[in-house]
């Protein structure tokens, strides 16, 4: 829909690079910002690094870029250890969260600067004199042409002679994208490039960045705090929480099969409902004296947290209910609707379905039901507990209660 | 602005103009009197009447003396060369230092910045005797270089630029590094253009200070042809035996005129600079 692929086919891409982070740690004084992070991004892959604000995403990205240096661990790009190599020598491009366009230069000059720095020699870059050295003119002409081409591809050609102050947020974002992309990076880093755009522009630009990645084929690490963005755009999602990488997997896997409770909580909107339960001597999870899941090897008396996604929570009559609850209100969202509920102890939980299903629901007592196979159960430490055998028998168990 | 709640009534506005006008007149009077005196013959200068307009003009005689007795063109040129050299070196040295103090992390950085602050507290008068001794040993007495060298490292400039650069976003520097700029190139291509308001403000302060400076030039220079403008006036008075006030004032007018003209042209930058740096008075 954006027409980017054709326009960019003309730009010769360099070999995309493989990126390896190996036990990378970083502290500022007492605070550990990153704790032994290891991550491999394959050549040409698009990995989204996602996590709540302040979890260390930007710090990790800066370490890949060479703007920060790890206290321990290694960074390898295309097989070469670059842990101590400065940013200028890494040949990595980055779109910064604030865009950081040079305010004193026009968009054209902003786009040209990285090319000037890389393609001209130190002497050719000298003011006045450099222009007359052999080869300078040809190089400058080639740079000008490449800038024009990138400008056309990103549809910013009409902005090229403006300074950043005279552009809208969306236009600045495109220029920042252009500046990073114009030099065919082998590794492309983006730090929340859409967070400063309004909602409609964000969805549109999201699609464009995915198209751009397909066209350029550059290895891409994309940082965002928006889990929806991460799920929608990336080949794989890496979830960072308090400086630790919790899980790296495809969007489907991190959603359906999270390995940690923080992953389950962070991914999905509205977020997963969590019910505290106790394991009894038969390996069943008990809530309000009712078994709601079974087959756990955990010790009797251990506390577990049972997670259930809003779309897996069914609201029905009292007869087939696993747990009683109270419906507070329903919320119409268009294609979906939400039901805000309270468990017997007053804890809130949310269910999601199509609006038709909730039509006619009135606040009051209801029963909650689900398929045992959809439950995600975590132990007290937050690690995933998997039932030893098919939990379909829970229904049978309930008959006895 | 015009619709702000601080808009004054016509009476209030007249009152404000009156007060400002009186203040301006008091401040300007000595300068105007100096110009008037430079037009008057000797007899009128010492007359008891208080008149701004001379009865007999003595302009040609006074200004002729001022331009003739000492090489006034040379003196003004010295002033321009010295001030320009000082300000160029000051910015060239202070900007990279300020950048390092503001944006780089290295051992001893805070200590060094402490030393810069300490440097602000030491007036040139405190160190002028050892410096004079050193300059004589180096053969810098009675040279223009001797006028320039002590001021090329300005701790004030380092301090001012450091504060200004500190306020620049880190991401701007990061973008430069990603784009392949060395630290030197970052200072030249990114920091300098964006620190231009601070650099202009500082340049104006520096030029005004060193154009008007009499203290250090009177220590290192004893030859008329190397004199800076204020020292030139001093030499002129010595040459004129001191009581030809008409001619002396003419010389003073010539010496101060370039700064006045410079101010009139750079008025906007000057005022912006003062408000920007928060320095007043
Ligand atoms: N230069 C620094 N000095 C001290 N603390 C820092 C510095 N940079 C980042 N931090 C801290 O590291 C943590 C992670 O920051 P950051 O990587 O920017 O998070 P994110 O990008 O995920 O929001 C934050 O708590 C932040 O306060
Ligand atoms: Mg961040």
Residue nearest to atom 2 of ligand 1 (CA): A28
Q: Report the pLDDT value the prediction gives residue B6, as an integer from 0 to 100.
A: 67
pLDDT class of B58 with cuts at 50, 70, 90: confident
pLDDT class of A292 with cuts at 50, 70, 90: confident
Residue B179 in contact with partner chain A when CB distance is under 8 A: yes
Q: Report the pLDDT value the prediction gives residue B88, as an integer from 0 to 100.
A: 97
- pLDDT-above-70 percentage for chain A: 93
pLDDT tens column, B112-129:
999 999 999 999 889 999
> Pick the residue with more confidence: B1 or A196?
A196
| Ligand 2 centroid – CA A58 distance (Å) | 4
Best to test chain A binding among B165, B175, B195 (most A CBs inside 10 Å): B175
| Ligand 2 centroid – CA A194 distance (Å) | 12
Q: Start-end ranges of CATH 2.40.50.140 in chain A?
A: 270-399
Q: Answer yes or no: do B178 and A93 touch at CB < 8 A.
A: yes
Which atom of ligand 1 sits closest to the CA of residue A53? 23
pLDDT class of A391 with cuts at 50, 70, 90: very low
Q: Answer yes or no: do B174 and A101 touch at CB < 8 A.
A: no
Residue B178 in contact with partner chain A when CB distance is under 8 A: yes
Q: Which ligand is nearest to the CA of A34?
A: 1
* Per-residue DSSP letter, B3: T
Whether B136 has a pLDDT exceeding 90, the answer reads: yes
Q: Report the pLDDT value the prediction gives residue B273, as an integer from 0 to 100.
A: 64
Residues 6+ apart with CB under 8 A from B11: none
Report yes or no: A192 and A224 within 8 Å, Cβ to Cβ: yes
| Ligand 1 centroid – CA A28 distance (Å) | 8
Residue A92 in contact with partner chain B when CB distance is under 8 A: yes
Fold for A270-399, please state it: OB fold (Dihydrolipoamide Acetyltransferase, E2P) (2.40.50)
Partners of residue A87 in chain B, C-beta under 8 Å: 174, 177-178
Report yes or no: A47 and A239 within 8 Å, Cβ to Cβ: no
| Ligand 1 centroid – CA A32 distance (Å) | 10
Of A86, A94, A100, nearest to B172 by CB-CB distance is A100
State how far the Cα of B11 lies from the Cα of B22, in Å rounded to an integer: 17
- pLDDT-above-70 percentage for chain B: 93
Q: Where are the domains of chain B?
A: 5-65, 71-278
pLDDT tens column, A82-131:
999 999 999 899 999 899 999 999 999 999 999 999 898 888 888 888 88
> Pick the residue with more confidence: A129 or A342?
A342
Ligand 2 ion: residues within 5 Å (CB): A 58
State how far the Cα of A394 lies from the Cα of A282, in Å rounded to an integer: 12
Residue B276 in contact with partner chain A when CB distance is under 8 A: no
Residue range A285-301: mean pLDDT, rounded: 83
What one-character-per-residue DSSP string does B142-174 give?
A: TSHHHHHGGGSS-HHHHHHHHHHHHTS-HHHHH
Whether A307 has a pLDDT exceeding 60, the answer reads: yes
* Per-residue DSSP letter, A77: E
Partners of residue A101 in chain B, C-beta under 8 Å: 175
Does the CA dihedral A103-A109-A112-A113 come out positive or negative? Answer: negative
Partners of residue A180 in chain B, C-beta under 8 Å: 178
State how far the Cα of B30 lies from the Cα of B256, in Å rounded to an integer: 13
> Pick the residue with more confidence: B67 or A21?
A21
pLDDT class of A7 with cuts at 50, 70, 90: very low
A222 burial (CB, 10 Å; 0-12 / 13-18 / 19+) is buried
Best to test chain A binding among B177, B179, B187 (most A CBs inside 10 Å): B179
Q: Report the pLDDT value the prediction gives residue B149, as an integer from 0 to 100.
A: 95
Q: Report the pLDDT value the prediction gives residue A383, as an integer from 0 to 100.
A: 94
Residue range A128-138: mean pLDDT, rounded: 84
A 227-256 near B (Cβ less than 8 A):
none
State how far the Cα of A177 lies from the Cα of A302, in Å rounded to an integer: 51
Q: C-alpha angle with apex B6: B2 to B8, nearest 5 degrees? A: 80
The CATH number that domain B71-278 falls under is 1.10.3720.10
Q: Answer yes or no: do B171 and A104 touch at CB < 8 A.
A: no
Q: Which residue of A has its CA nearest to B172?
A: A100
And the tokens for A151? 């400008």
Among A301, A289, A292, which residue's Cα sits nearest to residue A274? Answer: A292
- 3-class secondary structure, A248: strand
Q: Answer yes or no: do B178 and A94 touch at CB < 8 A.
A: yes
| Domain A9-256 CATH superfamily | P-loop containing nucleotide triphosphate hydrolases (3.40.50.300)
Residues 6+ apart with CB under 8 A from B3: none
What ipTM was assigned to the predicted interfaces of this complex? 0.84
| Residues at CB less than 6 angstroms from ligand 1 | A 28, 33, 51, 53-59
Residue range B153-171: mean pLDDT, rounded: 94
Report yes or no: B241 and B117 within 8 Å, Cβ to Cβ: no
pLDDT tens column, A13-59:
578 999 999 999 999 999 999 999 999 999 999 999 999 999 999 99
Report yes or no: A74 and A159 within 8 Å, Cβ to Cβ: no
State how far the Cα of B57 lies from the Cα of B127, in Å rounded to an integer: 47
pLDDT class of A351 with cuts at 50, 70, 90: very high
Q: Answer yes or no: do B181 and A104 touch at CB < 8 A.
A: no
| Ligand 2 centroid – CA A252 distance (Å) | 25
Q: Which residue of B has its CA nearest to A68?
A: B174
Residue A67 in contact with partner chain B when CB distance is under 8 A: yes
Q: Report the pLDDT value the prediction gives residue A319, as an integer from 0 to 100.
A: 67
> Pick the residue with more confidence: A295 or A214?
A214
Residue A66 in contact with partner chain B when CB distance is under 8 A: yes
- 3-class secondary structure, A73: strand
Range with lowest mean pLDDT among A23-27, A166-170, A365-369, B242-246: B242-246
Residue A103 in contact with partner chain B when CB distance is under 8 A: yes
Report yes or no: A316 and A369 within 8 Å, Cβ to Cβ: yes
pLDDT tens column, A254-286:
999 999 999 999 999 999 999 999 998 888 889
State how far the Cα of A193 lies from the Cα of A181, in Å rounded to an integer: 13
B70 burial (CB, 10 Å; 0-12 / 13-18 / 19+) is buried
Among A241, A269, A245, A267, which residue's Cα sits nearest to residue A254? Answer: A267
* Per-residue DSSP letter, A132: G
Whether A352 has a pLDDT exceeding 50, the answer reads: yes
Total H helices, total E strands in chain A: 11, 21
Q: Which residue of A has its CA nearest to B190?
A: A102
Q: Report the pLDDT value the prediction gives residue B15, as an integer from 0 to 100.
A: 92
Q: Report the pLDDT value the prediction gives residue B211, as an integer from 0 to 100.
A: 95
Q: Are strands A187-191 and A219-224 parallel, antiparallel or unpaired?
A: parallel
Q: Report the pLDDT value the prediction gives residue A180, as an integer from 0 to 100.
A: 92
- A191 CA: distance to closest CA in chain B (Å): 11
Whether A1 has a pLDDT exceeding 70, the answer reads: no
Whether A401 has a pLDDT exceeding 90, the answer reads: no
And the tokens for B90? 């000051």
Best to test chain B binding among A69, A114, A123 (most B CBs inside 10 Å): A114
Q: Report the pLDDT value the prediction gives residue B168, as an integer from 0 to 100.
A: 94
State how far the Cα of A384 lies from the Cα of A378, in Å rounded to an integer: 4
- B166 CA: distance to closest CA in chain A (Å): 15
pLDDT tens column, B230-280:
999 998 888 765 678 888 899 999 999 998 888 888 777 767 666 655 443
| Ligand 2 centroid – CA A224 distance (Å) | 8
Whether B91 has a pLDDT exceeding 90, the answer reads: yes
Whether A147 has a pLDDT exceeding 50, the answer reads: yes
Which atom of ligand 1 sits closest to the CA of residue A29? 4
Residue range A149-178: mean pLDDT, rounded: 92
Report yes or no: B79 and B211 within 8 Å, Cβ to Cβ: yes
Q: How many CA atoms lie within 13 A of B246 on its CB side?
A: 20
Range with lowest mean pLDDT among A62-66, A151-155, A385-389: A385-389
Among A221, A182, A218, which residue's Cα sits nearest to residue A15? Answer: A218
Whether A323 has a pLDDT exceeding 60, the answer reads: yes
Whether B140 has a pLDDT exceeding 80, the answer reads: yes
Residue range A72-89: mean pLDDT, rounded: 94
Q: Which ligand is nearest to the CA of A98?
A: 2
pLDDT class of B44 with cuts at 50, 70, 90: confident
């Amino acid at each position: 829909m954006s027409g980017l692929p054709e326009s960019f086919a003309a730009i010769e891409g360099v070999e995309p690079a493989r990126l390896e982070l190996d036990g990378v740690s970083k502290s500022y004084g007492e605070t550990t910002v990153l704790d032994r992070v290891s991550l491999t991004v394959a050549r040409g892959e698009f990995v989204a690094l996602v996590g709540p604000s302040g979890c260390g995403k930007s710090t990790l990205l800066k370490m890949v870029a060479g703007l920060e240096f790890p206290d321990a661990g290694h960074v390898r790009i295309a097989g070469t250890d670059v842990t101590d190599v400065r940013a200028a020598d890494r040949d990595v491009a980055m779109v910064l969260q604030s865009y950081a366009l040079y305010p004193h230069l026009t968009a054209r000059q902003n786009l040209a600067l990285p090319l000037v720095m890389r393609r001209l020699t130190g002497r050719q870059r000298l003011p006045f004199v450099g222009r007359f050295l052999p080869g300078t003119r040809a190089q400058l002409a080639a740079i000008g042409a490449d800038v024009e081409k990138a400008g056309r591809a990103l549809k910013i050609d009409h902005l090229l002679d403006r300074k950043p102050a005279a552009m809208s947020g969306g236009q600045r974002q495109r220029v920042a994208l252009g500046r990073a992309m114009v030099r065919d990076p082998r590794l492309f880093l983006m730090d929340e490039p859409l967070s400063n755009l309004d909602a409609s522009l964000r969805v549109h630009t999201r699609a464009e960045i995915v198209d751009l990645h397909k066209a350029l084929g550059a290895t891409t690490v994309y940082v965002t705090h928006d889990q929806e963005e991460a799920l929608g755009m990336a080949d794989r999602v890496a979830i960072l929480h308090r400086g630790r990488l919790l899980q790296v997997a495809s969007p489907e896997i991190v959603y359906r099969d999270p390995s940690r409770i923080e992953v389950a909580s962070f991914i999905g909107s509205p977020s997963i409902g969590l019910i505290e339960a106790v394991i009894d001597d038969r390996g069943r999870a008990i809530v309000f004296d009712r078994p709601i899941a079974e087959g756990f090897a955990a010790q009797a008396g251990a506390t577990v947290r049972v997670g259930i996604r809003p779309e897996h929570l069914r609201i029905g009559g009292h007869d087939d209910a696993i747990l009683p609850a109270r419906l507070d209100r329903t919320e119409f969202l268009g294609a979906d609707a939400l039901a805000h509920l309270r468990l017997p102890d007053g804890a809130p939980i949310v269910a999601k379905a199509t609006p038709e299903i909730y039509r006619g629901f009135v606040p009051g007592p209801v029963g909650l039901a689900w398929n045992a196979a959809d439950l995600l159960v975590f132990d007290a430490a937050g690690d995933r507990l998997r039932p030893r055998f098919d939990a379909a028998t829970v229904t049978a168990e309930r008959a006895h209660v | 602005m015009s619709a702000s709640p601080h808009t004054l009534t016509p009476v209030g506005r007249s009152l404000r103009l009156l007060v400002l006008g009186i203040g301006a007149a008091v401040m300007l009077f000595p300068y105007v009197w100096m110009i008037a005196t430079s037009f008057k013959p000797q007899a009128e200068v010492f007359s008891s009447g208080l008149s701004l307009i001379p009865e007999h003009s003595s302009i040609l005689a006074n200004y002729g003396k001022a331009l003739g007795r000492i090489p006034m063109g040379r003196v003004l040129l010295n002033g321009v060369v010295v001030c320009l050299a000082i300000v160029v070196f000051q910015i060239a040295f202070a900007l990279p230092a300020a950048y390092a103090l503001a944006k780089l992390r290295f051992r001893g950085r805070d200590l060094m910045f402490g030393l810069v602050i300490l440097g602000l507290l030491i007036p040139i008068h405190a160190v002028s005797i050892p410096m004079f001794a050193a300059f004589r040993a180096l053969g810098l007495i009675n040279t223009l270089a001797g006028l320039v060298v002590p001021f090329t490292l300005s701790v004030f400039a380092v301090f001012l630029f450091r504060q200004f650069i500190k306020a620049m976003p880190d991401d701007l520097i990061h973008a430069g590094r990603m784009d392949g700029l060395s630290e030197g190139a970052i200072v030249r291509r990114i920091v300098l253009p964006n620190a231009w308001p601070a650099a202009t403000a500082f340049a104006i302060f520096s030029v005004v200070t060193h154009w008007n400076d009499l203290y250090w030039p009177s220590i290192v220079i004893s030859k008329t042809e190397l004199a800076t403008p204020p020292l030139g006036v001093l030499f002129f008075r010595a040459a004129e035996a001191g009581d030809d006030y008409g001619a002396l004032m003419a010389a003073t007018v010539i010496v101060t005129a370039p700064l006045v003209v410079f101010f009139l042209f750079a008025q906007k930058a000057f005022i912006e600079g003062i408000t920007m740096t928060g320095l007043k008075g």
